[in-house]
Structure 1
Amino acid sequence: MLEIRNLTKGYAEDRKVLENLSYTLNVGEYVAIMGESGVGKSTLLNLIAGLDSPDSGEIRINGIAISSMQDDAATQLRREQFGFIFQAFHVLPHLTLAQNIALPLLLNGVTTDCVDQMLEQVGLFGRGHHFPRQLSGGELQRVAIARALIHRPKLVLADEPTGNLDPDTAHEILQLMRKEIKANGAIGIIVTHSHVAAATADRVLNLTKDGLHPAQSEHQP
């Protein structure tokens, strides 16, 4: 379970990006968060990931407040149970595609036998020996998505994961994300401006200055 309790975050005394935000997600839920630019969608994702700290309030994972964890414990939690997909890819240029995707497995001491299968699932089979400089932006995004899913995380956080993909590839990747989230009993959160991408989620939430609210028209896949 993911609990957001009275979360407040601002970057200036007179500008609160998020204020007293509360919401709860249960295991197996996959939601899309939409909203106007600057409303705090990416900030919320970074707070949930533990990459930023709230001014007040807390985020709890299975009853444990992330902000109260020691740095080493929080790092281990993210490494073992979180999968991140960010707009900037964060693919390491000096590693091959296979090595980039295998990183979460290696960090967790898990065999990397499934890397080729994941490469195939994201449409990059046979290219594991290539380096990031040999890929297009859309292909780099697929590597980032494969790396986020390879260790079967319990919390998948995606910030505009299909922004660099063509419509057909985006559809395939979104279906893969949904399948993996459901198969692993994970919680999935996708932040997106795309109504097509949001429609693959169980529920669509709008983030406003007043909090998270169900979208007026939700799509049930």
Structure 2
Amino acid sequence: MPVLELKNIVKNYPDGENINEVLKDISFQVKKGEFAAIMGPSGAGKSTLLTIMGALLSPSSGTVLLNNQDISHFSKKQQTQLRLNEIGFIFQNSDLIPYLKISEQLQFIQKISNKKSTDAIAILKQLGLGHRLSSYPNALSGGEKQRVAIARAFINQPDLILADEPTASLDSKRGREVVQIIQETVHQQNKAAVMVTHDERILDLVDSIWQIEDGKLNKVNK
């Protein structure tokens, strides 16, 4: 059974007197232990699709199943709880809280969640950040910040990880290191992950590749 499954997703926005159809009848699935990448040009609908996967946006029509539960039209409160406990996000910019130390970034997520989580210190050490536990975000390099963001995404043991252009602000070496960490963690912990990216140099690290263009999504042979 897929961790995440989209069935016939459509997303429309009003555009003056017209309707702009951003996503057109999209179906997609990702299973445990699978790391999927979605490629596509700017404006193709990648970000809209990822926000629907992450329960940040409801589709105009179609079904979003997370662990076989229909989350397509959850209330705002239900969506918030779902994102906190079942979905981990990794964004382009790490979006760390500037006044919290690195260890506190993860401990804060643990406090507001009602789900059993991983040892924050242990996961940071595992990602090579043991010497940064008492540092603030402004003392970290771009790659270190993204590793903290990865730790934060995995801290509550979510079944689904969503990564939005995680290498965008990094050079090619650091970007590859970050994606390798995501790949290894997904495989070791048997999680499902979806990454939106423009970076073709890291596609050898994913298990499946999808292409979105003009609002339509198709699987690409690796």
Residue 85 of structure 2 corresponds to which residue in structure 1?
Answer: 80
Report the 3-state secondary structure (helix = DSSP H, G, I; strand = E; otherwise coil) of the residue aligned with 2:111: helix
User: Which of residues 3, 25, 31 is equivalent to 2:30?
Assistant: 25
Q: Percent identity?
A: 36
Counterparts of 1:31 and 1:70, CA distance in 2:
28
What is the identity, as a one-letter code, of the residue corresponding to 2:198? H
After superposition, the CA RMSD in angstroms is: 2.2
1:117-172: CA deviation from partner (whole Å, max 9, x where unpaired): 32233332211111122233333222212211222221000011122233333333
Residue 132 of structure 2 corresponds to which residue in structure 1?
Answer: 127
- 18-27 vs 111-120, greater mean Cα deviation: 111-120
Give the unaligned 5+ runs of structure 2: none
User: Which of residues 194, 201, 212 is equivalent to 1:207?
Assistant: 212
Report the 3-state secondary structure (helix = DSSP H, G, I; strand = E; otherwise coil) of the residue aligned with 2:104: helix
Matched, 1:9 2:42: no
Give the unaligned 5+ runs of structure 1: none
1:1-221 mapped onto 2 (5 Å cutoff): 1=2, 2-11=4-13, 12=15, 13-108=18-113, 114-209=119-214, 211-216=216-221, 218=222
Counterparts of 2:42 and 2:153, CA distance in 1:
25
What is the identity, as a one-letter code, of the residue corresponding to 1:152? Q
What is the identity, as a one-letter code, of the residue corresponding to 2:9? L
1:75-120: CA deviation from partner (whole Å, max 9, x where unpaired): 2222122110011322111211111123332333578773233223
Counterparts of 1:58 and 1:79, CA distance in 2:
21
What is the identity, as a one-letter code, of the residue corresponding to 2:90? I
Contact 2:93 2:166 in 1 (8 A): no
Counterparts of 1:158 and 1:112, CA distance in 2:
20
- 12-21 vs 31-40, greater mean Cα deviation: 12-21
TM-score after normalising by structure 2:
0.87
Distance 1:116 1:185, change over 3 A: same
Report the 3-state secondary structure (helix = DSSP H, G, I; strand = E; otherwise coil) of the residue aligned with 1:32: strand
Report the 3-state secondary structure (helix = DSSP H, G, I; strand = E; otherwise coil) of the residue aligned with 2:42: coil
Contact 1:9 1:16 in 2 (8 A): yes
Contact 2:93 2:169 in 1 (8 A): no
1:15-64: CA deviation from partner (whole Å, max 9, x where unpaired): 21111111222222211100111101111111110111212212111221
TM-score after normalising by structure 1:
0.87
Counterparts of 1:74 and 1:183, CA distance in 2:
27
Counterparts of 1:16 and 1:182, CA distance in 2:
35
What is the identity, as a one-letter code, of the residue corresponding to 1:97? I
- 154-163 vs 101-110, greater mean Cα deviation: 101-110
Counterparts of 1:150 and 1:181, CA distance in 2:
13
Report the 3-state secondary structure (helix = DSSP H, G, I; strand = E; otherwise coil) of the residue aligned with 2:178: helix
Contact 1:85 1:161 in 2 (8 A): yes
- 66-75 vs 126-135, greater mean Cα deviation: 66-75
Counterparts of 2:106 and 2:86, CA distance in 1:
16
What is the identity, as a one-letter code, of the residue corresponding to 1:36? P
Counterparts of 2:66 and 2:97, CA distance in 1:
29
